[in-house]
Amino acid sequence: MTETKPIRRIAIVGTGVIGASWSALFLAKGLQVVATDPAPNAEASLRKFVKSAWPALERLGLSPGASQSNLEFTGDLARAVAGADLVQENGPERVDFKQRLYGQLDELLPADVIIASSSSGIPMSQIQVGARSHPERCVVAHPFNPPHLIPLVEIVGGAKTSEETIRRAREFYDSIGRRTVRIKKEMAGHVANRLQAALAREVYYLVTEGVVSAADVDTALSWGPGLRWGIMGNMMLNHLGGGPGGIEHFFEQFAGPMANSWKALGSPVLTPELQKKLIDSVHAEVGSRSIEELEAERDEILLGLIELRTGPSDAAAPRKVAAHA
Amino acid sequence: MTETKPIRRIAIVGTGVIGASWSALFLAKGLQVVATDPAPNAEASLRKFVKSAWPALERLGLSPGASQSNLEFTGDLARAVAGADLVQENGPERVDFKQRLYGQLDELLPADVIIASSSSGIPMSQIQVGARSHPERCVVAHPFNPPHLIPLVEIVGGAKTSEETIRRAREFYDSIGRRTVRIKKEMAGHVANRLQAALAREVYYLVTEGVVSAADVDTALSWGPGLRWGIMGNMMLNHLGGGPGGIEHFFEQFAGPMANSWKALGSPVLTPELQKKLIDSVHAEVGSRSIEELEAERDEILLGLIELRTGPSDAAAPRKVAAHA
């Protein structure tokens, strides 16, 4: 294993919704953050976001040295990345833009500095074409929004990404309490967004077919199978669903019925009419509750669930790095 | 609204996994339970299950009068249902069996006693053919396993089920802290099992294609989108995902990309080879952990999450019946 400099200073390139949330997370983990974004008012918006996110991060546990005062902002890209140990890039999802940006970053940064993209839509194989000298240090590290609350980080390399970069990236995000997954092939939507899309397709189908209201399909998910999906994944739950015979028995019993049930699943076409039906049903569910109120409710329980699963002390201290390497 | 006798005495017909779990739940809610099952050792297995389930039910909060001593067992169907206010039927999933059983129950029971089936596979329209005199009091009340822990109950009528039966059934399950949904069309798998099938299809696809290991797809679900699905449903989360513009803005932004992503989702065929790949990957994830250990971990967090969402006091007292009627 190569000895490399510990990652202590992060450059955030792009401080929109995702970049701001990453910034808050890194600060809470006791890291130095230098952020840059060309938008007017970017610094004020960023500092406002970090301040608003801080109470939740305190509740989950700050790391030693964590402070909002470790945040610097500069409008200048070169100054932002000078001395950075890792760049978290959250620029617009346009391939030409990202290729040009990675060209600049590649010239500005020593070869051992990882450039990690939050991209959900553009494969790293395309992005890293711009980094002519050291494409091997470029990797996708895709969070699940908002990164400061949701622990998942999807790690995907492009054709030219080195295993060393993937290993170091995974170690870094693991060390700050993230739950990383290694995606071995570049896929549209990585993994988590695909799972969301698969579920949403059937949800929309059932509501637009008039089988169930939005309120009732939400009850069915969140008081039924959804209760377990924030605890364990589908495969492990299948293993337990097989009883003492485990996953083998599960497939003996259910592979046939499951495959049959797939034939009956829906493939809705989201016409304006069907969208209106979904929208109307959601409004009937929401009633007079405001978005702020609902968000607060969601995030309160989310924090509680994360605490249940990690314990506050575990969340506060960087976890022992798992043996991925 | 018709005045009807309060539901205080439940007959459990069939005390397998589902029937035993229902029994434990009804006892915890302070109800009288008379159970019947022709299997040898059925009574001993049932009492053992109820005893093992009791600590979790105590933690969620017992209703006044709740006691394991309110459980009676008889091998005789007629004695079991005599004086029952509601029958919860959990017999084998065979249409001929259920039709014959509903014929017997229909003859044994006064017309205002609801016969509720836990069936996941056979439409009530077929089952109630057996209940020649009063098919209108037959309804599916499908729980999500295990019913004593997971609050969801799916309510579906057959062609001859009365609205009055559906209303009374929903009120009853709501009154004992269940979260009911009204399914307006008979669909294979009702709603929750279809959502599970839709998700599992993509999970199996990603693992069998070598995109991700079972461990990593489970991490992606349970530390990513799954964290929210036990808090709110897909439709409400879409509403919040639209920001201040809500569900309208969500569809403006994402209807197109979502529909595109559906085209890329997988349709695996569960050949023996692919099942083996899934099984091997699950074993790599499970390692040396026993099924008992994993079940205990799952249920501990599940109880915690349910407490977070309901509060112990709310779970203990029967909830105010929502205005479904």
Q: What is the ipTM of this complex?
A: 0.94
pLDDT of B316 over the 60 cut: no
Average of per-residue pLDDT values in chain A: 94
pLDDT of A204 over the 50 cut: yes
B280: how many CB neighbours lie within 10 A of its CB? Answer: 14
Helix (H, G, I), strand (E, B) or coil at B153: strand
Give residue-wise pLDDT tens across range A123-143.
Answer: 999 999 999 999 999 999 999
The Cα–Cα gap between A152 and B226 comes to 11
Mean pLDDT (whole number) for B253-278? 96
Flag if A305 and B302 touch (Cβ within 8 Å).
no
What residue ranges in B90-178 does DSSP mark as E strands?
A: 114-117, 138-143, 152-157
- In this complex, the residue of B194, B285, B301 whose CB is nearest that of residue A231 is B301
CA A212 to chain B, closest CA, distance in angstroms equals 5
Q: What is the pLDDT confidence band of residue B4, given thresholds at 50, 70 and 90?
A: confident
Flag if B265 and A198 touch (Cβ within 8 Å).
yes
Q: Which residues of B touch A192 (CB under 8 A)?
A: 220-221, 224-225
pLDDT for B5 equals 80
pLDDT of A119 over the 70 cut: yes
Chain B interface, mutation test: which of A180, A219, A249, A294, most B Cβ atoms within 10 Å? A219
Which strands form B9-13's sheet, in the order they lie side by side?
B71-73, B32-36, B9-13, B86-89, B114-117, B138-143, B152-157, B179-183
- In this complex, the residue of B210, B229, B282 whose CB is nearest that of residue A185 is B210
CA B83 to chain A, closest CA, distance in angstroms equals 32
Closest chain B residue by Cα to residue A181:
B216
pLDDT of B313 over the 70 cut: no
Per 3-state DSSP, what percentage of chain B is helix, strand, and coil (rounded to 5)? 55, 10, 35
Give the burial class of B204: count Cβ atoms within 10 A of its Cβ; 0-12 exposed, 13-18 middle, 19 or more buried: buried
The Cα–Cα gap between B123 and B188 comes to 8
In this structure, what is the dihedral angle of CA atoms B17, B22, B27, B32, given to the nearest 10 degrees?
-110
Flag if A216 and B188 touch (Cβ within 8 Å).
no
Over pLDDT 90: what percentage of chain B? 93
Q: What is chain A's Cα-based Rg?
A: 22
Mean pLDDT (whole number) for B80-90? 98
The Cα–Cα gap between B219 and B255 comes to 27
Average of per-residue pLDDT values in chain B: 94
| 3-state helix/strand/coil string of A162-195 | CHHHHHHHHHHHHHCCCEEEEECCCCCCCCHHHH
Q: Which residues of A touch B151 (CB under 8 A)?
A: 223
Closest chain A residue by Cα to residue B242:
A291
Flag if B301 and A295 touch (Cβ within 8 Å).
no
The Cα–Cα gap between B139 and B166 comes to 7
Alpha helices in B117-245 (DSSP H): 124-127, 163-175, 192-208, 214-222, 226-229, 234-241
Flag if B278 and A219 touch (Cβ within 8 Å).
no
pLDDT for B325 equals 32
pLDDT for B149 equals 96
Over pLDDT 70: what percentage of chain A? 95
pLDDT of A316 over the 80 cut: no
Instruction: Indicate the residue type of A26.
Output: F
Residue B120: φ, ψ to 5°: -100, -15
pLDDT of B86 over the 60 cut: yes
Flag if A278 and B251 touch (Cβ within 8 Å).
yes
pLDDT for B312 equals 52
In this structure, what is the dihedral angle of CA atoms B8, B118, A222, B187, given to the nearest 10 degrees?
-140
Distance between alpha carbon B136 and the CA centroid of its chain, in Å?
A: 22
Flag if A295 and B200 touch (Cβ within 8 Å).
no
Q: What is the pLDDT confidence band of residue A163, given thresholds at 50, 70 and 90?
A: very high
pLDDT of B122 over the 70 cut: yes
Flag if A308 and B309 touch (Cβ within 8 Å).
no
How many CB contacts within 8 angstroms connect chain A with chain B? 351
Q: Which residues of A touch B304 (CB under 8 A)?
A: 304-305, 308
Q: Which residues of B touch A303 (CB under 8 A)?
A: none
Flag if A228 and B281 touch (Cβ within 8 Å).
no
pLDDT of B31 over the 90 cut: yes
Chain A interface, mutation test: which of B182, B239, B254, B310, most A Cβ atoms within 10 Å? B239
Flag if B211 and A183 touch (Cβ within 8 Å).
yes
pLDDT for B9 equals 98
- In this complex, the residue of B187, B201, B247 whose CB is nearest that of residue A282 is B247
Whole-structure pTM value: 0.93
Closest chain A residue by Cα to residue B293:
A240
CA A301 to chain B, closest CA, distance in angstroms equals 6
pLDDT for A325 equals 32
CA A175 to chain B, closest CA, distance in angstroms equals 16
Closest chain B residue by Cα to residue A244:
B291
- In this complex, the residue of B144, B294, B304 whose CB is nearest that of residue A224 is B144
| Residue B83 β-bridge partners | none
What residue ranges in chain A does DSSP mark as E strands?
A: 9-13, 32-36, 71-73, 86-89, 114-117, 138-143, 152-157, 179-183
Q: What is chain B's Cα-based Rg?
A: 22
CA B53 to chain A, closest CA, distance in angstroms equals 16
The Cα–Cα gap between B164 and A197 comes to 37
Flag if A234 and B221 touch (Cβ within 8 Å).
yes
Flag if A217 and B235 touch (Cβ within 8 Å).
yes
The Cα–Cα gap between A205 and A265 comes to 8
- In this complex, the residue of B199, B223, B255 whose CB is nearest that of residue A179 is B223
Chain A interface, mutation test: which of B228, B292, B298, most A Cβ atoms within 10 Å? B228
Closest chain B residue by Cα to residue A268:
B259
Closest chain B residue by Cα to residue A252:
B275
Helix (H, G, I), strand (E, B) or coil at B174: helix
- In this complex, the residue of B189, B214, B262 whose CB is nearest that of residue A235 is B214
Give the dihedral sign, CA B202/B204/B208/B210. positive
pLDDT for B55 equals 97
Closest chain B residue by Cα to residue A284:
B236
pLDDT for B103 equals 98
Closest chain B residue by Cα to residue A196:
B225
Mean pLDDT (whole number) for A261-286? 97
Mean pLDDT (whole number) for B177-183? 98
Within 8 A by CB and 6+ apart from A291, the residues are B239, B240, B243, B244, B246
Q: What is the pLDDT confidence band of residue A69, given thresholds at 50, 70 and 90?
A: very high
Q: Which residues of B touch A181 (CB under 8 A)?
A: 212, 216-217, 219-220
pLDDT for A3 equals 58
